[in-house]
Amino acid sequence: MTLVELVVAMTIATAAILSGYRAYAAISDRRLVAIARADAVARAFNTRALLASWLSNARLTIEEDEVVFRSVDDARRRGRDEPPEADIVFLTSAPSPVSRHGTIVHLFVARDSGVHGLTAELSEWRGRRSTTLQLDPSIGGMAIDFASVFGAQQRTASSWVSSTLLPATVRLRFFPRRSDTLALLLRLPLSIRLAASGSSGIEGGS
């Protein structure tokens, strides 16, 4: 083999190796993108399922330590380009990281430097345990609508404060942060029917 043939062979081999490396890198990048998308879908699904579980099991108390179902949306405090800042506080009988019998949930969108996105502050009802969960950091705003049924008519409102009556349904809408994208599942409104909307409340539980 002459020197020219050796150089040609090395050039061809190098080109083949580089081509194979580029193909492998492209496949790896696509694989990473696919994994990231699958993770985003899974997180969005779990977030929706968790919120549906908490809200569908919302309850009212009829004792001295009554917990008010509260959500007040004051649109006058934000500008036109700012996402909605609604939050909601309620008692749920669904299992949570702090209790399996009763948890007070404060759901809101945090905008602090340390914590941001959809956040849930959980406090054990009639207990001392509490924790804060960052449910989805890509959410930059939340709007909440409530529906109630009086007779044959259905009424909607953007605020709800009551210790004796739950709304029939709650609809959550999420908005992305300016620099982030929001998973498709989280862009879809989440409508939840409250199981105890027609009852007066619960007693006991610890």
Q: How far is 190 from 188, CA to CA, in rounded Å? A: 6
The answer to whether residue 8 sits within a structural domain is no
- Predicted local confidence at residue 204, as pLDDT: 37
The answer to whether residue 30 sits within a structural domain is no
The answer to whether residue 91 sits within a structural domain is yes
What pLDDT digit, counting tens, does each position of 161-201 carry? 988 889 999 999 999 877 667 888 898 999 999 876 644 33
The answer to whether residue 200 sits within a structural domain is no
The answer to whether residue 4 sits within a structural domain is no
Mean pLDDT of all residues in 111-132: 87
Domain housing 76: 53-193
Question: Between the CA of residue 124 and those of 97, 131, 205, what are the distances in Å?
Answer: 9, 9, 11
Single-letter amino acid code for the residue at 196: A
What does pLDDT average to over the chain? 81
- Predicted local confidence at residue 82, as pLDDT: 72
The answer to whether residue 130 sits within a structural domain is yes
